[in-house]
């Protein structure tokens, strides 16, 4: 016997659209409202950013003032100060290269093959070292450029990377101390972590930049930049420590017992058994913390550093480009967006992948 | 000696003493050095300065403030400013976040896309950049002479002017309390004393309570109204300046807008997560009982989602409260800026930092306490539902 | 075989052992002496303290009173002694506790390498030898999550053996296993016993106890109520509680 299968008539394009957006009167209203908002915004944005915008510097600021659109010539004229701050003009290729080094380092550390303590330390050590040598110079025939001349994107990245580099090991130490069986150690550490977490980052940066010099002997004061990095690392580590501790709580107690029964000492248990598993558990939350702390590096502008936000202020703040603040902020926002968005997408991807592999 | 070090108990004791001791030593050394350094600059430690007059002004205060006021009064102003800005930002952010979050969980693809775009854009740009951006926009608004005007609202570079009732400040404060009571009272009544009553009576009593509180507010406003003035005071141009209405300074407006938009994007995600955590089974069960979609939403999805959201929301609120310290970027005298100014002007560095820490600790702890209570109340309700 | 006539230091000597959790007394005056090569099976209802007792032997739990001496080394607060004892005492857990982030081979190699400081090649040879012995040499490069419960438990035994311990502790090694996997683990344990390993097993596998044990201990309420060779234990126990327990375990 032969079966004849009659396919139901395929719903047409229009029918499909109707079902998705106009199924009920309420749906229709919502759809239309959203569509109107979207068309309006997209049109406004395109009109401002593309159709009526001025892109070249040839006309100077005057050409911009004649149009209602965006004045991208401010970026064309001032991109160097936004990216490099006050870094010497002839040496700015070094600053660019240093930024590339940090980006490569970040991308590498997102690859699972690098997720062992030694490899990740190697990548970050090499990346930061390269960045520092390129920026500071004084060796390999590179002219010396002091930290006070660093600025723009490079300074933002430097503060971020060093914050993580100091903050991450510190976070692990704090997490271990907090879960210590010795009551006084865990209590004191808990007090420090909770204390730092209850304070706003700005107040910590301010304390480290302005107040700390009073409380330190002369020889310990160091450069203001490094004090601020230390403060920011402390803040980072207080949050990251709780994330690491959460990851440790996710490791079965039997794991440590098995390691003990095999005769491993404390550090062997921690480094070979506990941490590798805990860090894996804590990975999505850790990336989220990196995202947050990258955004928060922008706060150093308040204690007077010339990072990308401050250099943006300078880019439009002086003289003829005074009117072009929206364009400059939009440009900086775009730079932040690229970094933060891709990192947080990656975190979300990782979280999905991990929750799938758990099943 | 060596064998003593191999003893676990001795080792543990030694480690603890060393750890706590070295931290205490560092803190103490810092304080001693700081006191000596400050003394060299002629600044004596102690809290006497709290009672000296400051000699400088604050640009925003809900309390009367002059340069003759003592420092302790300024700290109080700072805390109140922080709490006020924080609460306004928090409420606005919650409204924005709820709308966007609902859009993100909507069944309509366009609404979801719109919500997602919003979250992706505003979450991924640092708050301080957004603060700078809005501040630049607001301070580049036209001067009062050529202000944008709409429905009695004026947008100018000197701030936003809105119509305001002609009442004394004490009466206004009392009326605000009454309005808050009108919102809180019915909820509180519903939770505690009325549970034994049938639901119809409960509704009536709740409604009556709200109405009574609102009536109180109206009476207070009517009594407190300044003599010989219209009910609402509209801002208007007089000479080169604007008179009348309520002026919201650009700094405050900037921060409130920035916190609302940025915080809104985070709260939207929390709202979305909350609704996502409500199992489809529960919704289907409710629908199969013949409840209308609206009742399913208010009776099943919303209460369950709220319970899932609250702990995370509490953390977010604490974060938003701390974000008011961005005030220093635009010159809004929040608690932190008052502390920074105090250090600048009086040099009482250690004391001011101590007060700063104590202040934020108090704010955090009280917020945490409030949310713990709400959490407990909700959890209790959950048990009743189950039992 | 008679268990009390060997000369020299016993493998394990426990005297008047007490253990408290807060105010709850988990062990009351335990006395036990185990000779080298002896196999002890410990049974008893849950909560009777049997796990606690063997966990005290390698200091996973700290005892509050009495003395424990393992291979002549006193187990006290001396960190060196604890390390020494843990090196010589292997343990197998109910839930295997394999390290999920390492392959089977790495699980077996890590401890000899970092604790005994063996070179990699030697550690690998030892590991492969013991994996052969527990009959899963072909799984060496897999991760624990890819193995069945029985296979995992055999890996756990191999891992403990790689440290070449003189005493093996088994803490209910088969109770987390599906019934069809119990025998493959017990077979390995029987082989191990026949080679003369000193073993202390907490288990309810009475068939295993009959075949292997020199002595069976019955514990309840933190005390050892009965101690007898298996034949006597199963047939002519003097203690009422023991008889009841035996009939329950053998009853089904």
pLDDT in tens, C124-170: 999 999 999 999 999 999 999 999 999 999 999 999 999 999 999 99
Q: Measure CB to CB from residue A20 to each of B23, B109, B360 and give the nearest one.
A: B109
Report the C-alpha gap between A27 and A38 in whole angstroms. 16
Phi, psi of C91 (to 5 degrees): -140, 140
Q: Measure CB to CB from residue C86 to each of A254, A255, A260 and give the nearest one.
A: A260
Name the residue among C83, C70, C63, C81 with its Cα closest to residue C18: C63
Q: Is residue A327 part of a domain?
A: yes
Report the C-alpha gap between A115 and A282 in whole angstroms. 13
Residues of B with CB under 8 A from a CB of C: 3, 6-11
Shortest alpha-carbon distance between residue C168 and chain B (Å) = 25
User: Taking a contact as any Cβ pair under 8 Å apart, which residues of chain B between 12 and 51 contact chain A?
Assistant: 12, 15-16, 19-20, 23, 30-31, 33-34, 37-38
Report the C-alpha gap between C10 and C35 in whole angstroms. 5
Report the C-alpha gap between C139 and A78 in whole angstroms. 62
Q: Which of helix, strand or coil describes residue A313? A: helix
Q: Measure CB to CB from residue C111 to each of A255, A262, A276 and give the nearest one.
A: A262
Per-residue confidence band for B196, with pLDDT thresholds at 50, 70 and 90: low
B198 or B194, higher pLDDT: B198
Query: How far from each other are the two terminal CA atoms of chain A, in whole angstroms?
Result: 44
Q: Is residue A37 part of a domain?
A: no
How does C192-212 read in b/e, with b if 16+ C-beta sit within 10 Å?
A: bbeeebbbbbbbbbbebbeeb
Q: Look up residue B50 and give its DSSP letter.
A: G
Q: Which of helix, strand or coil describes residue A102? A: helix
Which residues make beta-bridge pairs with C42?
Answer: C202, C217
User: Taking a contact as any Cβ pair under 8 Å apart, which residues of chain C between 98 and 117 contact chain A?
Assistant: 98-101, 110-111, 114-116
Instruction: Determine, for residues B360 and A198 on separate chains, whether the beta-carbon distance falls below 8 Å.
Output: yes
Shortest alpha-carbon distance between residue B296 and chain A (Å) = 17
Instruction: Determine, for residues C91 and A258 on separate chains, whether the beta-carbon distance falls below 8 Å.
Output: yes
- CA distance readout (Å), A36 to A41, A49, B113, B268: 8, 20, 13, 22
CA geometry: angle C207, C212, C216, nearest 5 deg: 80
CATH number at residue A291: 1.10.3720.10
Q: Which residues of A touch B356 (CB under 8 A)?
A: 199, 203
Q: Which residues of A touch B121 (CB under 8 A)?
A: 337
User: Taking a contact as any Cβ pair under 8 Å apart, which residues of chain C between 76 and 95 contact chain A?
Assistant: 83, 86-87, 89-91, 93, 95
Instruction: Determine, for residues B20 and A31 on separate chains, whether the beta-carbon distance falls below 8 Å.
Output: no
Residue C2 pLDDT > 60, yes or no?
no
Spatial CB neighbours of B307, under 8 Å, sequence gap ≥ 6 = B378, B379, B382
Q: Is residue A14 part of a domain?
A: no
Q: Is residue C66 part of a domain?
A: yes
Q: Which residues of A touch B37 (CB under 8 A)?
A: 214-215
- CA distance readout (Å), B328 to B332, B349, B351, C22: 6, 18, 20, 53
Per-residue confidence band for B384, with pLDDT thresholds at 50, 70 and 90: very low
Phi, psi of B82 (to 5 degrees): -60, -45
Q: Look up residue B160 and give its DSSP letter.
A: E
Radius of gyration for the alpha carbons in chain B, expressed in angstroms and rounded: 26
Q: Measure CB to CB from residue A199 to each of B15, B132, B360 and give the nearest one.
A: B360
Instruction: Determine, for residues C79 and B10 on separate chains, whether the beta-carbon distance falls below 8 Å.
Output: no
Q: Is residue A211 part of a domain?
A: yes
User: Taking a contact as any Cβ pair under 8 Å apart, which residues of chain A between 83 and 102 contact chain C?
Assistant: none
Residue B385 pLDDT > 70, yes or no?
no
Report the C-alpha gap between B81 and B249 in whole angstroms. 13
**Using an 8 Å Cβ cutoff, are C27 and C220 in contact?**
no
Shortest alpha-carbon distance between residue A288 and chain B (Å) = 11
Does A183 reach chain C within 8 Å, measured CB to CB? Answer: no
Report the C-alpha gap between B267 and B90 in whole angstroms. 10
A interface test, pick of B11, B105, B122, B128 with most A CB neighbours within 10 Å? B128
Structure tokens at B292: 């209308």
Q: Is residue C179 part of a domain?
A: yes
Q: Which residues of B touch A216 (CB under 8 A)?
A: 30, 33
Q: Which chains touch A (3 or more CB pairs under 8 A)?
A: B, C
| Residue contacts between A and C (CB atoms, under 8 Å) | 60
Q: Is residue A282 part of a domain?
A: yes
C23-46 average pLDDT score: 92
Residue C53, burial from CB neighbour count under 10 angstroms (0-12, 13-18, 19+): buried
Report the C-alpha gap between C85 and C55 in whole angstroms. 12
C interface test, pick of B4, B7, B11 with most C CB neighbours within 10 Å? B7
By C-alpha distance, the chain B residue nearest C82 is B8
Does B343 reach chain A within 8 Å, measured CB to CB? Answer: yes
The pLDDT of residue C126? 94
Does B356 reach chain A within 8 Å, measured CB to CB? Answer: yes
CATH number at residue C51: 3.40.50.300
C40-46 average pLDDT score: 91
Q: Which residues of C touch B7 (CB under 8 A)?
A: 77-79
Instruction: Determine, for residues B8 and C78 on separate chains, whether the beta-carbon distance falls below 8 Å.
Output: yes
Which residues make beta-bridge pairs with B236?
Answer: B243
Instruction: Determine, for residues B11 and C79 on separate chains, whether the beta-carbon distance falls below 8 Å.
Output: yes
Q: Which residues of C touch B10 (CB under 8 A)?
A: 77
In tens digits, chain A (359 residues) has pLDDT values of 455 555 555 667 777 777 777 777 777 888 888 889 889 999 888 888 877 777 776 666 777 777 777 778 777 777 888 888 888 787 888 888 888 888 888 888 888 888 877 888 888 888 888 888 888 877 877 778 877 878 888 889 999 999 999 999 999 999 999 999 899 999 999 999 999 998 999 999 998 988 888 888 878 778 888 999 999 999 999 999 999 999 999 898 899 999 999 999 999 999 999 998 998 888 888 998 999 999 998 898 888 888 888 888 877 777 777 777 888 888 899 999 999 999 888 888 888 887 765 43
The pLDDT of residue B149? 73
CA geometry: angle A217, A222, A223, nearest 5 deg: 140
Report the C-alpha gap between B96 and B232 in whole angstroms. 28
Per-residue confidence band for B2, with pLDDT thresholds at 50, 70 and 90: low
Report the C-alpha gap between B153 and B247 in whole angstroms. 10
The pLDDT of residue A11? 61
Handedness of CA B269, B274, B278, B283 (dihedral sign): negative
Radius of gyration for the alpha carbons in chain C, expressed in angstroms and rounded: 18
Report the C-alpha gap between A297 and A309 in whole angstroms. 10
Domain count, chain C: 1
Structure tokens at A227: 């004090």
Q: Is residue C123 part of a domain?
A: no
By C-alpha distance, the chain B residue nearest A185 is B16
Instruction: Determine, for residues C80 and B6 on separate chains, whether the beta-carbon distance falls below 8 Å.
Output: yes
Question: What is the complex's ipTM, to 2 decimals?
Answer: 0.90
B355-365 average pLDDT score: 90
Helix/strand/coil percent split, chain A, to 5: 80, 0, 20
Instruction: Determine, for residues A261 and C98 on separate chains, whether the beta-carbon distance falls below 8 Å.
Output: no
Q: Please state whether B159 falls in left (phi above 0), alpha (psi between -120 and 50) or beta.
A: left
Q: Which of helix, strand or coil describes residue B180? A: helix
Q: Look up residue A9 and give its DSSP letter.
A: P
Strands in C39-43's sheet, in edge-to-edge order, are C89-92, C167-171, C198-202, C39-43, C215-220, C223-228
Q: Which chains touch C (3 or more CB pairs under 8 A)?
A: A, B
Domain that holds residue C204: 12-97+169-251
Report the C-alpha gap between B362 and B356 in whole angstroms. 10
The pLDDT of residue B264? 94
Q: Is residue C187 part of a domain?
A: yes
The pLDDT of residue B109? 85
Q: What is the reported pTM? A: 0.87
Spatial CB neighbours of B348, under 8 Å, sequence gap ≥ 6 = B43, B45, B49, B342
Report the C-alpha gap between C178 and C155 in whole angstroms. 16
Report the C-alpha gap between B24 and C219 in whole angstroms. 50
By C-alpha distance, the chain B residue nearest A293 is B126
C interface test, pick of B6, B11, B12 with most C CB neighbours within 10 Å? B6
Per-residue confidence band for C69, with pLDDT thresholds at 50, 70 and 90: very high
Q: Which residues of B touch A184 (CB under 8 A)?
A: 16, 19-20
Q: Please state whether C92 falls in left (phi above 0), alpha (psi between -120 and 50) or beta.
A: beta
Domain that holds residue A180: 73-357
Report the C-alpha gap between A82 and A310 in whole angstroms. 8
Q: Which chains touch B (3 or more CB pairs under 8 A)?
A: A, C
Q: Which of helix, strand or coil describes residue B370? A: helix
Q: Which of helix, strand or coil describes residue C94? A: coil
Domain count, chain A: 1
Query: How far from each other are the two terminal CA atoms of chain C, in whole angstroms?
Result: 30
Residue B86, burial from CB neighbour count under 10 angstroms (0-12, 13-18, 19+): buried
Q: Which residues of C touch B3 (CB under 8 A)?
A: 78
Q: Is residue C246 part of a domain?
A: yes
Q: Measure CB to CB from residue C91 to each of A261, A264, A277 and give the nearest one.
A: A261
By C-alpha distance, the chain A residue nearest C111 is A262
User: Taking a contact as any Cβ pair under 8 Å apart, which residues of chain C between 36 and 65 contact chain A?
Assistant: 58-60
| Residue contacts between A and B (CB atoms, under 8 Å) | 132
Residue B185 pLDDT > 50, yes or no?
yes
The pLDDT of residue A359? 39
Report the C-alpha gap between B289 and A188 in whole angstroms. 55
Q: Is residue A48 part of a domain?
A: no
Per-residue confidence band for B180, with pLDDT thresholds at 50, 70 and 90: confident
């Amino acid at each position: 016997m032969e079966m004849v299968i009659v396919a139901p008539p395929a719903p047409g394009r229009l029918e499909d659209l109707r079902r998705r957006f106009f199924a009920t009167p309420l749906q229709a209203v919502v759809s239309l409202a959203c569509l109107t908002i979207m068309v309006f915004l997209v049109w406004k944005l395109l009109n401002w950013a593309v159709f009526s915008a001025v892109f070249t510097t040839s006309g100077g600021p005057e050409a911009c003032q004649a149009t209602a659109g965006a004045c991208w010539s401010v970026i064309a004229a001032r991109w160097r100060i936004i990216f490099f701050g006050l870094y010497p003009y002839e040496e700015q290729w070094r600053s660019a290269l240093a930024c590339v080094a940090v980006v490569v380092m970040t991308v590498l550390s997102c690859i699972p093959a690098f997720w062992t303590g030694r490899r990740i330390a190697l990548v970050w050590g090499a990346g930061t070292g390269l960045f520092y040598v390129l920026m500071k110079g004084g060796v390999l025939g590179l002219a010396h450029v002091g930290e006070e001349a660093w600025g723009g994107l490079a300074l933002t990245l430097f503060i971020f990377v060093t914050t993580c580099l100091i903050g991450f090991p510190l976070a692990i130490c704090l997490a271990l101390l907090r879960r210590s069986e010795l009551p006084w150690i865990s209590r004191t550490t808990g007090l420090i972590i909770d204390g730092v977490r209850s304070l706003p980052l700005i107040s910590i940066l301010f304390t480290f930049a302005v107040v700390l010099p009073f409380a330190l002997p002369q020889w310990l004061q160091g450069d203001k930049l490094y004090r601020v990095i230390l403060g920011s690392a402390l803040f980072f580590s207080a949050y990251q420590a709780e994330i690491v501790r959460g990851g440790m709580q996710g490791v079965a107690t039997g794991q440590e017992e098995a390691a003990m029964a095999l005769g491993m000492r404390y550090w062997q248990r921690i480094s070979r058994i506990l941490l590798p598993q805990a860090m894996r558990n804590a990975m999505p939350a850790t990336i989220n913390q990196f995202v947050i702390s990258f955004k928060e590096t922008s706060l150093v502008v308040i204690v007077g550093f010339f990072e990308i936000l401050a250099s943006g202020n300078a880019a439009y703040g002086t003289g003829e480009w005074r009117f072009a603040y929206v364009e400059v902020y939009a440009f900086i926002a775009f730079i932040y967006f690229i970094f933060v968005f891709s990192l947080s997408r990656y975190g979300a991807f990782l979280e999905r992948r991990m929750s799938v592999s758990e099943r | 000696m060596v064998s003593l070090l191999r003893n676990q108990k001795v080792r543990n004791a030694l480690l603890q003493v060393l750890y706590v001791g070295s931290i205490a030593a560092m803190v103490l050394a810092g304080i001693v050095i700081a006191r000596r350094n400050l003394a060299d600059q002629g600044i004596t430690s102690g809290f006497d300065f709290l009672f000296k007059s400051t000699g400088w002004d604050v640009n925003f205060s809900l309390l009367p403030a002059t340069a003759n006021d003592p420092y302790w009064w300024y700290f109080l102003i700072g805390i109140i400013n922080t709490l006020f800005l924080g609460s306004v930002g928090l409420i606005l952010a919650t409204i924005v976040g709820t709308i966007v979050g609902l859009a993100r969980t909507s069944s309509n693809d366009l609404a979801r896309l719109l919500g997602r775009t919003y979250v992706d854009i505003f979450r991924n740009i640092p708050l301080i950049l957004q603060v700078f951006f809005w501040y630049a926009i607001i301070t580049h608004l036209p001067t009062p002479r050529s202000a944008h005007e709409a429905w009695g609202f004026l947008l100018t570079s000197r701030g936003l002017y809105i119509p305001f009732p002609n009442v004394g400040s004490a009466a206004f404060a009392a009326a605000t309390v009454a309005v808050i009571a009108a919102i809180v009272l019915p909820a509180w009544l519903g939770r505690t004393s009325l549970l034994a009553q049938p639901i119809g009576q409960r509704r009536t009593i709740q409604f009556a309570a709200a109405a009574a509180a609102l009536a109180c507010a109206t009476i207070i406003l009517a009594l407190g109204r300044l003599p010989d003035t219209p009910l609402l005071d509209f801002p208007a141009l007089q000479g080169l300046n604007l008179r009348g209405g309520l002026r919201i300074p650009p700094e405050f407006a900037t921060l409130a807008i920035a916190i609302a938009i940025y915080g809104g994007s985070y709260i939207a995600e929390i709202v979305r997560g909350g609704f996502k955590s409500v199992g489809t089974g529960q919704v289907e069960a409710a629908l199969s009982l013949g409840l209308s979609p609206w009742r399913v939403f208010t009776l099943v999805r919303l209460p369950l989602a709220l319970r899932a959201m609250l702990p995370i929301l509490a953390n977010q609120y604490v974060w938003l409260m701390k974000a008011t310290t961005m005030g220093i970027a635009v010159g809004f005298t929040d608690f932190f800026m008052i502390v920074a100014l105090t250090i600048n002007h009086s040099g009482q560095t250690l004391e001011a930092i101590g007060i700063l820490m104590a202040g934020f600790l108090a704010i955090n702890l009280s917020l945490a306490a409030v949310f713990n209570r709400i959490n407990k109340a909700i959890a209790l309700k959950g048990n009743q539902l189950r039992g | 075989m008679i268990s009390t006539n060997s000369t020299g230091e016993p493998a394990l000597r426990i005297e008047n052992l007490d253990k408290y959790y807060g105010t709850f007394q988990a062990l009351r005056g335990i006395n036990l002496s185990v000779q080298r090569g002896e196999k002890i099976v410990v049974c008893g209802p849950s909560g009777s303290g049997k796990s606690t007792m063997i966990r005290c032997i390698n200091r996973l739990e700290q005892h509050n009173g009495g003395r424990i001496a393992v291979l002549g080394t006193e187990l006290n607060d001396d960190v060196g002694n604890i390390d020494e004892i843990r090196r010589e005492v292997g343990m197998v857990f109910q839930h295997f506790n394999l390290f999920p982030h390492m392959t089977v081979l790495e699980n077996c190699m890590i401890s000899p390498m970092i604790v005994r400081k063996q070179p990699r090649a030697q550690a690998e040879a030892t590991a492969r030898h013991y994996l052969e012995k527990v009959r899963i040499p072909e799984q060496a490069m897999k991760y624990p999550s890819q193995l069945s419960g029985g296979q995992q438990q055999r890996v756990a035994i191999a891992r403990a053996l790689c440290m070449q311990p003189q005493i093996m502790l088994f803490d209910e090694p088969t109770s987390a296993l599906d019934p069809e996997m119990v025998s493959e683990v017990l077979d390995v344990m029987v082989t191990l016993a026949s080679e003369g390993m000193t073993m202390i097993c907490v288990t309810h596998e009475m068939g295993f106890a009959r075949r292997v044990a020199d002595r069976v201990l019955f514990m309840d309420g933190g005390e050892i109520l009965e101690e007898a060779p298996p034949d006597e234990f199963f047939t002519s126990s003097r203690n009422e509680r023991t008889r009841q327990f035996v009939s329950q375990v053998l009853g089904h």
